Structure formats: structure tokens, C-alpha cells
Structure 1
Amino acid sequence: MLDLAKIAGQIPGISQHMQREAIASQQRFELAQRLQQQAADRQGQLVQTQADFRDRAIFAAATPIEPLDECFDIQTAPYSHSVFATDGSQISPSHHEIAYCYLINIGQIMLHYGQSLHPLLDSVPEVFYKKEDLYISKQWGIRLEEWMGHRRTVSEAETLAEMACNWVLPPGEHYDIPNLALVDGSLIYWFLDSLPNEARDKILPPILASCERLRETKIPMMGYVSASRSTEGLNFLRLQACEYEHPNCVVNCGDLTEKYPCQKIDSLRDSTFWAGQLQPGQRSPLYRSNLRILELYEEAQRVYFCYVNVGTEIARVEMPQWVVDDRTLLEQSLSIVLAQVHKGYGYPVALAEAHNQAVVRGGDRVRFFTLLEQQLIKAGIRNVGTSYKEARKRGSIA
């Protein structure tokens, strides 16, 4: 039990700290505005400099492909359109349960607007219990819980492509209503970059294959990142803030152990900056991400992003290059994203419903293991039950 009386004395210190941080954040914002205007005046030169010295930079900076000092209005969504979305949840394995296994549940959503069609709200569960499912990650030093999360990402991507493509291209028919495949989170699977090649090759290729299937079926895909903490866009301004003639970080700043000279707006996030620039219904310029993991993507699947003022927050919206190349498709897809947020009262309704279909609650976990226990007993397996530790944790005698 948390004793609130014992932490009450710490609260004033927290508020004072946050007040100081708010003042410092405002100063960083004003400096970022000045740097942005300066960078906009010589944007072409900075982009070329970035390309020339990219392999000698110590920070990851996205490349703007539109004027830095412009904001763009998002058009109204088409009356008739369809939205596809998936999300996942899981039951983690435990040695204290009756069987060591885990479950991944994928929620899948298909919503149709202006078409008089019924929606699809469903979930697809899968249980993993074989030796190769439970212990394959140990050879790479990856915890099973982490590996389970990677497997869930694969299942989400494959389910999304399967659902959307089967609807858009049924046998002998052609579907030409505007549509969008929505992903909860980033399209940049940067967390796979640190994995051994053999482990990564079991996760990333099936995800990219699903993305390619969407491209071949001409279903635009976008990733919606709420409360983004990225500084990838603002990092481009570090090229403008550099004190040297050439931004050769390895040579000029390689021996520094503290803050680098170009980190003048350090800790300011992209979303915080664009909150002061964008009006509701507007987006920032498009950026091309240069994160290292994207070198494993096909050119058409390289990720671009922009920030959108959806009214309730500044969301980061990501899309593959093939969507960016088709300007009409890009604007149409962004309009559908914005409409989804409005229908969901601050968050895309398709993603929220996919989460609701996927989420595994405490009662679901109990029913799952109860069903498993019944099947084990029916199969003739005796001494089935949870550990004493798990049994005692589920109740209290105090």
C-alpha cells in the first residue's frame, strides 16, 4: 500500500522542478524558432551538407523535403472510405502457471464510411507452446518477453495486410473506394537494430513483406504515433547551430565528453516545437528519416513523417516513400487520419477499437488457464495446478 502522507513532503520539490523546466523549455523553443528561420533561408545548402557529412555525424537527423517555414492545411476526408487497423496484446509466460506458454491476441478492425456496410470487429488469438517458440531467443541472449513482443509486431503486420488485401481485391473484383491501413505506432522498427542479424532476419523480413503486399495492392499505410518523444526533425537544426565550417563531428567534437556545441535546443521534442507552429488541421513539412535500420528497407518502403495538429495533440504520422510519391494519395490518406482522430474524440477510432478487441484482461487470463487446465486433465495429465506462490498472491489473509 502506498502511504501518501510519507510522500506529501516531496510534492513541492516536484512542482518547483517542473516550473523551472517550463521556463527552460520556453527558452529552447524560442531559440529553435530562430534556428528554423535561419535554416529555412539556406535549406538546400544544409541538405547538401548533411548528405556530404552524414557518415561523420554523431546524431540522427531527418531531412526536410518541403520548406521548413511552411505549414500545410489538411483537406477534408472523402465521404466514402474504408479504414483497416490492427493491434495486439498478450498473456506472458510464467513458470508459476499450470503450463509454460504464451498467447498473442491480435485485434482487427475494418470500418466503412458512406457505404452502408457492416464493420468488422474481431480478434485472432494464437497460443505458443512448442520448444522452438519458447527457447529460440535464448541463443541470442534475448529475453522471452522481449521476443514475444517482436513476434506480436509480426502478427500485427501480417494480419493487417491479410485483412486489407483480401477486402480490397476479392476474387474477380476490384475495389476503388479510398482506403487506409493504420498502424498503432512507428513504421520504423528501430528496436530491431540492436538485435543479432540472425534474430532480426526472423522478424523484419515478414513485416516488410506485409508492407510490400499493401503497396502492390495500392493500399496506403500510415503509422500514428501519439505523444512522440522524437527529436529527429529538430536535429536537422543542429547543422545550422554548428560552430564549425563543416559539421564533421568525429574530427571537431570527437573528444568532447559533455554537451556538444550544437546541442543548443537539447531536450526539446519535435512535437513540443510544432505545437507552437501548427493550427488545428495543419501539418508540418515532410521529413525523410535517416535512421540506420531503414538501410534494410527497400527504397519504396523508406519512411517519411510529418507532425499533425489533430486538435488534441501534435501527432507524428509516418508513411512509406511510395505514398509520399503520390501527392494525391498522400493528402487523401492524411485527411482520413485526421477524420479518424475526430471520430475517436482525440485518437483514431480504428486504432482504439483494435486495442479494445486485442486487450487481454485479468479475467481473460484466468479463463484461459482454466480452459487449459481442463484440457490437460481430460488428456490424462495429473497434478495440474499453479504454484503455491501464485495461489497465495491471488488472495490475502491479512
Structure 2
Amino acid sequence: MLDLSKIAGQIPGISQHMHKEAIASGERLELAKKLQQQAASTQAKLIATQADFRDRLLFAAATPIEPLDRCFDIPIAPYSHSVFATDGSQISPSHHEIAYCYLINIGQIMIHYGQSLHPVLDSVPEVFYKTEDLYVSRQWGIRLEEWMGYRRTVSEAEILADIACNWVLPPGEHYDTPNLALVDGSLIYWFLDGLPVEARDKILPPILAACERLRATKIPMVGYVSASRSTEGLNFLRLQTCEHEHPNCVVNCGDLVNNYPCQKIDSLRDSTFWSSQLLPGQRSPLYRSNLRILDLYEDAQRVYFCYVNVGTEIARIEVPAWVVEDKDLFDRSLSIVLAQVHKGYGYPVALAEAHNQAVVRGGDRARFFGLLEQQLIKAGLRNVGTSYKEARKRGSIA
């Protein structure tokens, strides 16, 4: 039990710290606005410099492909369209439970607008209990809980491609209706960058194969990132502040431990900056992400992003290159995303429903292990039950 009276004395210190951070953030924001105007006038030169010294930069900077000082209006969504979405949840393995296994539950959503069709709200659970499922990640030093998250990401992508592609392929008349595949979170699987090659090759290829299926069926895939903490876009402005002839961080600045000019906007988030620039229903310029993991993607699947004022927040919207190359498709995709947010009262309704279908609550967990216990007893196994530690934690004498 948390004793609030014992931490009450720490709260004023937190508020004072946050007040100072707010003042510092305001100063960084004003500096970023000035740098934006300066960089907009020399944007082509900065992009060329970035390309020449990309491998010498000690920070990840995205490349703007539209004027930095422009904001773009998002059109109204078409009356008839379909939205597909998935999200996942899981039951983690525990040695104190009845059996050492884990479960991944994927919520799948299909909502049709202006077509007089019923929505599909469903979930697809899968239990992993075989030796190769439970211990394969040990050879790479990856914890099972972490590996389970990677497997869940694969399942989300594959099921999203299944429900979307199987819907629009038969029969052919569905091609005329705009479609959108929504992903909760980023399309950049940056967390795989530090994995051993053998481990990464079991996760990334099936995800990219699912993305390729969507491209072949011409269903735009969009990643919706809420409360983004990224600084990738603003990092491009750091090139404008460089006081050296060439932005060679490795040679000129070492490990950036000193207070260099380019670090003055270092902790300012892209979303914070664009909140001061965008009106509701507007988007920022498009950026091409240059994160290293994207070198493993095909050119058509490389990720671009922009920031959109959806009314309740500044959301980061990510799309693959093939969607960006078709301006009408890109604009239509953004319009459907914005309509989803409005229908969901601040968050895309399809993603919210996918989460609701996927989430595994305490009662679901108890029923799952109860069902498993019945089957184990029926199979003739004895001494089936939780550990004494787990049983004791579930009931208190207090």
C-alpha cells in the first residue's frame, strides 16, 4: 500500500522542477521558430549537407521533403470508406502459474462507413507453450517477455494484412471504395536495431511481408503515434546552428558532452514545436526518416512522417514511401485518419476498439488458467495448481 503522507513533502519539489522546465521549454521553442525560418531559406543546401555527412552526425535527423515553413490543410474524408485496425495484448508467462506458457490476443476491427455494412469487432487469441516458443530467445540473450512483445508485433501486422487484403480482393467491386489500414504506434521498428541478426530475421521479414501485401492491394498503411516524444524533425534544424564549416560531429564535437549551439533545442519535442504552428485540421511538412533500421526496408516501404493537429493533440502520422508518392492517396489517408479521431472523440475509433477487443483483464486471465487447469486434470496430470507464493499473494489476511 502506498502511503501518500510520506511522499507529500516531495511534491513541491516536483512542481518547482516542472515550472523551471516549462520556462526553459518556452525559450527553446522561440529559438526553434527562428531556426525554422532561417533553415527554410537554405533548405536545399542543408539537405545536401545532411546527405554528405549523414554518417558523421551524432544525432538522428529526418529530412524534410516539403517547405519547412508551410502548414497544409487536410481535406474532408470521403463519405464511403473502410478502416481496418489491429492491436494486441498478452498474458505473460509465470513459473508460479498452473503452466508455463503465454498467450497473445490480437483485436481485429473492420468498420465500413457509408456502405450499409456491419462492422467486424473480434479477437484472435493464440497460446504459446512449445519448447521452441518458450526458450528460442535464450540463445540471443533476449528475455522471454521481450520476445513475446516482438511476436505480438508480428501477429498484429499479419492479421491486419489478412483482414484488409481478404476484404478488398474478393469481390472486385470493393476496389472503388477507399480503404485504410491503421496501426497503433510507429511503422519504424527501431527496437529491433540492436538485436542479433538471427533474432531480427525472425521478426522483421514477416512484418515487411505483411506491409508488402497491403501495398500490392493498394491499401494505405498508416501508423498513428499519440503523445510522440520524437525530436527527429527538429534535429534537422540543428544543422542550421552548426558553427563549423562541415557538420562533422565525430571530428569537431566528440561525444557532444559540451554545450554546443546545436544542443540548445536538443530536448524540444517535434510535437511541442508543431503545436505552436498548426491549426486544427492542418499538418506539418513531410519528413523522410533516416533511422538506421530503415536501411533494412525496401525503398517503397521506407517511412515518412508528418505531424497533424487532430484537435486534441499533435499526432505523429507515419506512412510508407509508396503512399507518399501518390498525393491523392496520401491526402485521402490523412483525411480518414482525422475523421477517425473525430469519431473517437480524440483518438481513432478503430484503434480504440481494437484495443478493447485485445485487452486481457484480470478476470480473463483467471478464466484462462481455470480452463487450462481443467484440461490438465482431465488429461490425468496431478498436483496441478499455482505455487504457494502466488496463492498467498492473491489472498491477504489484512
Deviation of residue 159 (structure 1)? 0.1
Deviations 1:346-398, CA, capped at 9 Å, x for gaps: 00000000000000000000000000000001011111000000000001012
Amino acid at match of 2:270: D
Amino acid at match of 1:315: A
Secondary structure of the corresponding residue to residue 261 of structure 2: coil
> Residue 374 of structure 1 aligns with which residue?
374
Greater shift, 288-297 or 162-171, is seen at 162-171
Amino acid at match of 1:20: K
Amino acid at match of 1:135: Y
Q: Within 5 Å, which residues of 2 pair with 1:57-96? A: 57-96=57-96
CA distance in 2, matches of 1:58, 1:260: 13
Amino acid at match of 2:69: D
Greater shift, 251-260 or 156-165, is seen at 251-260
Q: TM-score scaled by structure 2?
A: 0.99
Deviation of residue 260 (structure 1)? 3.5
Q: Does 1:319 align with 2:315?
A: no
Amino acid at match of 2:379: A
> Residue 2 of structure 2 aligns with which residue?
2
> Are the structure 2 counterparts of residues 255 and 291 from structure 1 closer, same or farther at C-alpha, using a change threshold of 3 Å?
closer
CA distance in 1, matches of 2:35, 2:211: 36
> Are the structure 2 counterparts of residues 366 and 41 from structure 1 closer, same or farther at C-alpha, using a change threshold of 3 Å?
same
Q: Does 1:158 align with 2:158?
A: yes
Secondary structure of the corresponding residue to residue 201 of structure 1: helix
> Residue 296 of structure 1 aligns with which residue?
296
Greater shift, 252-261 or 1-10, is seen at 252-261
> Residue 186 of structure 2 aligns with which residue?
186
Secondary structure of the corresponding residue to residue 341 of structure 2: helix
> Residue 109 of structure 1 aligns with which residue?
109
> Are the structure 2 counterparts of residues 256 and 314 from structure 1 closer, same or farther at C-alpha, using a change threshold of 3 Å?
closer
Deviation of residue 171 (structure 1)? 5.3
CA distance in 1, matches of 2:35, 2:229: 20
Secondary structure of the corresponding residue to residue 211 of structure 1: helix
> Are the structure 2 counterparts of residues 352 and 256 from structure 1 closer, same or farther at C-alpha, using a change threshold of 3 Å?
closer
CA distance in 2, matches of 1:193, 1:256: 22
CA distance in 2, matches of 1:231, 1:255: 18
Q: Is the 8 Å Cα contact of residues 287 and 305 (structure 1) preserved in structure 2? A: yes
Deviation of residue 253 (structure 1)? 0.8
Deviation of residue 86 (structure 1)? 0.1
Q: Is the 8 Å Cα contact of residues 97 and 390 (structure 1) preserved in structure 2? A: yes
Amino acid at match of 2:194: S
> Are the structure 2 counterparts of residues 25 and 95 from structure 1 closer, same or farther at C-alpha, using a change threshold of 3 Å?
same
> Residue 125 of structure 1 aligns with which residue?
125
5+ unaligned residues in a row in structure 1: which ranges?
none
CA distance in 1, matches of 2:397, 2:17: 42
Q: TM-score scaled by structure 1?
A: 0.99
> Residue 391 of structure 2 aligns with which residue?
391
Secondary structure of the corresponding residue to residue 68 of structure 2: coil
Q: Within 5 Å, which residues of 2 pair with 1:207-286? A: 207-254=207-254, 256-286=256-286
Q: Does 1:53 align with 2:53?
A: yes
Deviation of residue 203 (structure 1)? 0.1
The percentage of aligned residue pairs carrying the same residue is: 86
Structure 1 stretches of at least 4 aligned residues deviating more than 6 Å after TM superposition: none
Deviations 1:270-289, CA, capped at 9 Å, x for gaps: 00000000000000000000
> Are the structure 2 counterparts of residues 141 and 223 from structure 1 closer, same or farther at C-alpha, using a change threshold of 3 Å?
same
CA distance in 1, matches of 2:60, 2:333: 27
Deviation of residue 256 (structure 1)? 4.8
> Are the structure 2 counterparts of residues 147 and 49 from structure 1 closer, same or farther at C-alpha, using a change threshold of 3 Å?
same
Deviations 1:68-124, CA, capped at 9 Å, x for gaps: 000000000000000000000000000000100000000000000000000000000
Deviation of residue 175 (structure 1)? 2.6
Deviation of residue 11 (structure 1)? 1.2
Deviation of residue 6 (structure 1)? 1.3
> Residue 135 of structure 1 aligns with which residue?
135
Greater shift, 11-20 or 85-94, is seen at 11-20
5+ unaligned residues in a row in structure 2: which ranges?
none
> Residue 144 of structure 2 aligns with which residue?
144
CA distance in 2, matches of 1:17, 1:394: 39
Deviation of residue 50 (structure 1)? 0.3
Secondary structure of the corresponding residue to residue 7 of structure 2: helix
Q: Is the 8 Å Cα contact of residues 241 and 264 (structure 1) preserved in structure 2? A: no
Deviation of residue 14 (structure 1)? 1.1
Amino acid at match of 1:78: P
CA distance in 2, matches of 1:232, 1:220: 23
Secondary structure of the corresponding residue to residue 264 of structure 2: coil
Deviations 1:48-73, CA, capped at 9 Å, x for gaps: 00001111111110000000000000
Deviation of residue 12 (structure 1)? 1.2
Secondary structure of the corresponding residue to residue 305 of structure 2: strand
CA distance in 2, matches of 1:324, 1:292: 20
CA distance in 1, matches of 2:182, 2:326: 18
Deviation of residue 259 (structure 1)? 3.7
CA distance in 1, matches of 2:218, 2:126: 29
> Residue 24 of structure 1 aligns with which residue?
24
